[in-house]
Structure 1
Amino acid sequence: MSIRIRRTAAAVALPLALGVTLTACGGSNGSSGAAVQAGCKPMHSFPTVQAKQLTVAVYVSPPYSVQKSGGAFGGVDGEIIQQIAQMECIKLVEKPVAGAALIESVKTKRADVALGGIYRTPERARILGLTSTLYRDGMAFIGKSKATTIADVKGKTVGVIQGYLWNADLQKVLGSGHVKIYQSSDGLVSDLKNGRLDQGVLTTSEAGYRAKQNPAARLQVGQVARDARVAASTKPGEVVLPLTKGNTKMLEAFNQDIQALLKNGAIAKALTGNGISASAAGS
């Protein structure tokens, strides 16, 4: 599910070990619960839900968040939060949650931050603290034939994921009977492979990842052309980290850390290491 609600908003790729030189603190592998090295000096100071740890709610949604062996999380967002935890000399505790519980976990202060390819939206900004943009993400068709325009999929059965930004617009333009809603991209891709679905609509990053993950299916990915009837096609989504509302010190710290990671190329490396163009980094 894309909390591309997205996403809003989105596992299995080996994460890139980032060569960040800002600090050598934190766990050696950035895994969940890794100890902080003695003598580590944090870049900032901010309160957290649980003292001396950064509690992270994670919805597994590759390539944004990927569950690795041993229970830790990678993917683009997973690698970025590991770097931030190291810069801030704080223990990272990652907790997997269902997609529907992701935003609620942060809103109700059961977690400090959420991961899973989460887009900036005005609705989220009212209930959460949203960081500066990590990277941008678009809207893509995926299917056995290549589609790039709304006209290309007119009259066909098009699959979308519950909660994505473009769902309501596509239902209006294509007709609700032609738009099939899935709870996860796994079911959508399975139906594409088996011929039960003509086209799917995913984020650009998800679509590329899924196509590479299923080479035998020969799925084709096409960036959706701008169409004023589908607002999400006119501007890329901005992936952010949602934090607990009102924690201004954490928000300021994260924003400064993100700018440092953009400047030294760490976010670009996280993107390319997970099959996404480095040009998507930043706002």
Structure 2
Amino acid sequence: MKKLAIFLVAAMLLILSACGTQQSNQVENETKSSDSEFGLVKEGSLTFAMTGQYPPLNFKKDGKLTGFDVEIGTEIAKRMGLEANPVTNPWETIIQGLKANKYDAIIGSMTATAERDKQIDFTEPYYLSGAQIFVANDNTEIQSKEDLQGKTIGVIQASTWKDMAETLTSPDMVKGYPVDVNALQDLSLGRLDAVITDKIVGVSAQNEKGLDIKPIGDLLNEDRVSIGIAEGNTELANKINEALQSMIDDGTYEEISMKWFNTNIMEK
């Protein structure tokens, strides 16, 4: 009788052990299947690239990558149940790196253009930028682009913004600068009536350098800054879009944006 009881206990233990192993293998296989489904380059992680040289969007501080892009990518990875693995790559080869499977995504302030879309796919935009008019904080005369006729406008030399400015005022009233910040500083000192530059560049200068300026009117053109994904990886694109939308819906996106820009850069 004792032998029979011992045999039955041993048999039950073997069955339970087999069930446990089967369940463990099932969970492991599901995880691997999920990683394989996304085509991740590093199991359990979302590896995303940027230059690391574009503050405050992405840059290195004390040897560690930080900035708006990094925080957005980290939160997306978290909501996908993955570890965040931000990496750097030179801008001129960043698309080639994605196509070569060096990383899963580009979260580096890349505008989705028709030319780039021929090589890779893009998610929904994670912020909107474009050409923006800036004026001094105390300027109440200029409210929109229609008010720029006859005004002095500062722009970067040989830029598309220079062409825009010349259509809004006379060409002799457009002043070229080597960099945006110089024009924005002159604007805050009252040497210009307005500046046309990238929205994010202007907002960053306003916050970081304490310039007494403000954006006015709608964007003169719109850049949809999106996350680059390897062509055809629709499953990963869909999951990133879901994570991004949930961040927008629960206010997390706005918190991150306010931290870095003191405004919601998803809004026009």
Normalized against structure 1, the TM-score is what?
0.62
Instruction: Report if aligned partners of 1:162, 1:181 keep a CA contact under 8 Å in 2.
Output: no
SS of aligned partner of 1:118: strand
Gaps of 5+ in 2: 1-30
Deviation at 1:125, TM superposition (A): 2.5
SS in 2 for 1:258: helix
Equivalent of residue 232 in structure 2, options 213, 224, 246: 246
Aligned length, in residue pairs: 226
- Gap change, CA 1:161 and 1:260, over 3 Å in 2: farther
Q: Give the alignment's Cα RMSD to 1 decimal.
A: 3.9
Residues in 2 aligned to 1:161 and 1:282: alpha-carbon distance in whole angstroms: 28
Q: Quick one: distance in 1 between partners of 2:158 and 2:86?
A: 24
- Map 1:115-264 → 2, pairs under 5 A: 115-142=107-134, 148-149=144-145, 152=148, 156=152, 158-160=154-156, 166-167=160-161, 169-170=163-164, 173=167, 178=174, 180=176, 187-190=179-182, 192-193=184-185, 198=192, 200-215=195-210, 218-225=211-218, 233=220, 236-264=222-250
Larger radius of gyration: 2
**Residue 67 (structure 1) aligns with:** 60
| Counterpart residue type for residue 62 of structure 2 | S
Q: Do the aligned partners of 1:139 and 1:201 also contact (CA within 8 Å) in 2?
A: yes
Comparing both chains, which one has the higher relative contact order based on Cα–Cα distances under 8 Å and sequence gaps of 6 or more? Answer: 1
SS at match of 1:110: coil
Matched with 1:12 is: none
Q: Higher strand share goes to which structure?
A: 2
Report how far residue 82 of structure 1 moved. Answer: 0.2
Report what 1:87 is aligned to.
79
Deviation at residue 162 of structure 1 after TM alignment: 8.5
Change (3 A) 1:91 1:238: same
Deviation at 1:210, TM superposition (A): 0.5
